[in-house]
Amino acid sequence: MFNTVPLVQIIRGSRLEAVYRGAMAIVNARGHLIASNGDTNLTTFLRSSAKPFQLLPLVESGGADHLGFSDRELAVMAASHNGEEFHVQAVVGILARLGLDESALQCGAHPPLHPPSARVLENAQQQPSALHNNCSGKHSGMLAQCVDRQLPIADYVSPQHPVQVAIKQTLAELASVSPDSIDVGVDGCSVPTFALPLSAAALAFARLADPSELSDPRRSALQRIASAMMAHPEMVAGTKRLDTEVMYIGKGRIVVKGGAEGYYGIGILSSPGLGVAIKMEDGDGGRGRNAVVIEVLRQLDALNGEGLASLAHYAAGPMKNHRGLIVGEVRPCFQLTH
């Protein structure tokens, strides 16, 4: 079982109604553990929180430059996007640059995460395609690595494919763990997903925010990926999504990437940079996870009063019922120790 601690309480009236448990590690870019809650060795899959690192080999190798990708295109390659029209068109454009189309994507199809976009398809009686899959940008980035390195594309999702081997090796280096120690599962979109201790994942996020102690070309590549995500936060998630809104409010000081099953990664561009890896025990990616993310940013002074106010709809606070009456409260119950 996981070794977790209570992170958020849901209170109704004066009584406890639900509790979200989890664990987190906060590590600086020098690899020092700054703060934690629960077991910092908790080892579980990063899921989509790994996307900035799954993109790294393409940028570090120069492939992104060879192929002429814009920052906006890099951002959607690091995305769990909403399947809004602008996301879909960006992925179509990336694939066209590679001489490919959506038939090359092996992510499978699901309706757009963005409800209005899902409804547009449904009302037109159109089936969602692989382009609408929230991972289609990541897959197009993996295909770009294939094209740039002249590798076969038919099996790019296989853990043995050179693109996946390079991703695992790169992530291991960034997290300062042995590649052999990284357990591999199959992600929702069929590519490998990687299990790391929270402290190791936090180090990778610290280096995404602050690669100053790394050498080129990795340093430049991480800077470019983080800058692309922060400059185009709408590409990384989309309308009404936590990742997008936090990076808008963060104004170049906060880079974030959520993952499935309650995973969340944060990089804070301080000196030295900070990395945060959070795992919600129950896999929550809504009310509990959101309140934890905002509370961590508050406690780390990464968000100020105005920023916190702008993100209040994701944060702790009063709960209203269907008539707008305040009936309870979302209340974080953890304290980072520095």
Return the structure tokens found at 38.
């629960």
Q: How many CA atoms lie within 13 A of 33 on its CB side?
A: 16
Q: Are 40 and 197 in contact (CB under 8 A)?
A: yes
Q: Is 288 in the site for its own copies (CB under 8 A)?
A: yes
Contact positions with its own copies (CB under 8 A) in 115-154: 119, 122-123, 133
Q: Residue 261 interacts with its own copies (CB under 8 A)?
A: yes
* Secondary structure (DSSP) of 23-41: EEEEEETTS-EEEEES-TT
2 binds its own copies (CB under 8 A): yes
Among 103, 160, 301, 323, binds its own copies (CB under 8 A): 323
Binding-site size for its own copies (CB under 8 A) equals: 51
| Residues 72-101, interacting with its own copies (CB under 8 A) | none
List the one residue from 62, 152, 185, 318 that touches its own copies (CB under 8 A): 185
Min separation Cβ 120 and its own copies, Å: 11
Q: Least distance from C-beta 142 to its own copies, angstroms?
A: 15
- Three-state DSSP at 282 gives coil
Q: Shortest distance, CB of residue 175 to its own copies, whole angstroms?
A: 17
| Least CB distance to its own copies at residue 141 (A) | 18
Interface with its own copies (CB under 8 A), residue from 125, 305, 322, 338 = 322
- Distances in Å between the Cα of 259 and the Cα atoms of 109, 135, 244, 284 are 18, 11, 13, 10
Residues 268-287 that bind its own copies (CB under 8 A): 280-284
Q: Judged by CB under 8 A, which of 75, 189, 200, 276 binds its own copies?
A: 189
Dist CA 133 CA 118 (whole Å): 11
Length of the chain: 338
Distance in Å from the first CA to the final CA of the chain: 27
Q: What single letter denotes the amino acid at residue 51?
A: K
Interface map 13-32 toward its own copies (x if CB under 8 A): xxxxxxxxx-----------
183 binds its own copies (CB under 8 A): yes
Asked if residues 314 and 291 have their Cβ atoms less than 8 Å apart, the reply is yes
The Cα 257–Cα 298 span in angstroms is: 17
Residue pair 144/58 in contact (Cβ under 8 Å)? The answer is: yes
Binding positions for its own copies, rule: CB under 8 A:
1-2, 6, 10, 12-21, 43-45, 106-110, 119, 122-123, 133, 183-190, 193, 195, 261-262, 280-284, 288, 321-325, 327-328
